[in-house]
């Protein structure tokens, strides 16, 4: 009888230990498989936009290379922006904050944010050169919805329904009727 109890306790203990080990190791095992794979789980090759725009494999590879390049260029700016925000936090923790100190840090944060935005806008302009005219129309519709969410109801301004550009054009064919 004691022998059966010891066997049951051993099996239960083994199951619990294996459960804890798998709970701890499983994310590392899964992460290792995706990290070692030929392609990462992010980027144009894995993006729903690849299918939505109908990108070819060559287009996806070109755009992925551009994405990686712009992220590498943005990384130092983003790191500096984090440092400046940390400085602002430290300044706000102090008992006295002068307008001059606040203006200096806020202007630096603003400059860095502008530089990052400009970098990504220039990147999106460069990427437009990879699209066919039909893909470009869809991309601009997605881009417009991403930059101006909630301004125009999606029903009235669907992706790719851009009116022209230039003075007097709203960007969406149905925008004029909504404004009235």
CA distance 109 to 101: 13
Q: If you average pLDDT over residues 6-11, what whole number do you get?
A: 82
Contacts of 101 (CB under 8 A, 6+ apart): 91
- Running DSSP on this structure, what letter comes out for residue 128? G
- The overall average pLDDT reported for the chain is 76
Q: If you average pLDDT over residues 115-128, what whole number do you get?
A: 91
pLDDT at position 155 is 52
- So where are the chain's domains? 1-37, 42-131, 132-180
Helix or strand run (H / E) with residue 125: helix 99-127
- Per-residue pLDDT of 68-94, as tens digits, reads 999 999 999 999 999 999 999 998 888
**pTM, to two decimals:** 0.57
CA distance 139 to 143: 6
Q: Please report how the helices 57-93 and 99-127 are oriented relative to each other, as an axis angle in degrees rounded to 10.
A: 180
**42-131: CATH, from 1.10.3090.10, 1.20.120.1490, 3.40.50.720, 3.40.50.300:** 1.20.120.1490
- The three-state secondary structure class of 84 is helix
């Amino acid at each position: 009888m004691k022998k059966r109890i010891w066997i049951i306790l051993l099996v239960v203990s083994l199951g619990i230990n294996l459960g804890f080990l798998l709970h701890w190791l499983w994310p590392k095992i899964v992460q290792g498989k995706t990290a070692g794979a030929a392609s990462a789980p992010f980027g144009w090759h894995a993006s729903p936009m690849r299918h939505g725009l109908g990108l070819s494999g060559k287009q996806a590879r070109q755009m992925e290379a551009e994405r990686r390049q712009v992220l590498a260029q943005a990384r130092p700016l983003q790191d500096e922006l984090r440092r400046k925000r940390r400085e602002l936090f430290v300044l706000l923790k102090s008992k006295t904050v002068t307008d001059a100190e606040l203006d200096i840090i806020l202007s630096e944060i603003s400059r860095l944010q502008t530089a990052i935005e400009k970098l990504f806008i220039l990147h999106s302009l460069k990427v437009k050169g990879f699209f066919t005219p039909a893909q470009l129309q869809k991309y601009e519709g997605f881009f417009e919805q991403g930059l101006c969410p909630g301004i125009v109801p999606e029903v009235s301004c669907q992706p790719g329904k851009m009116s022209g550009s230039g003075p007097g054009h709203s960007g969406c064919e149905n925008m004029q009727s909504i404004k009235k």
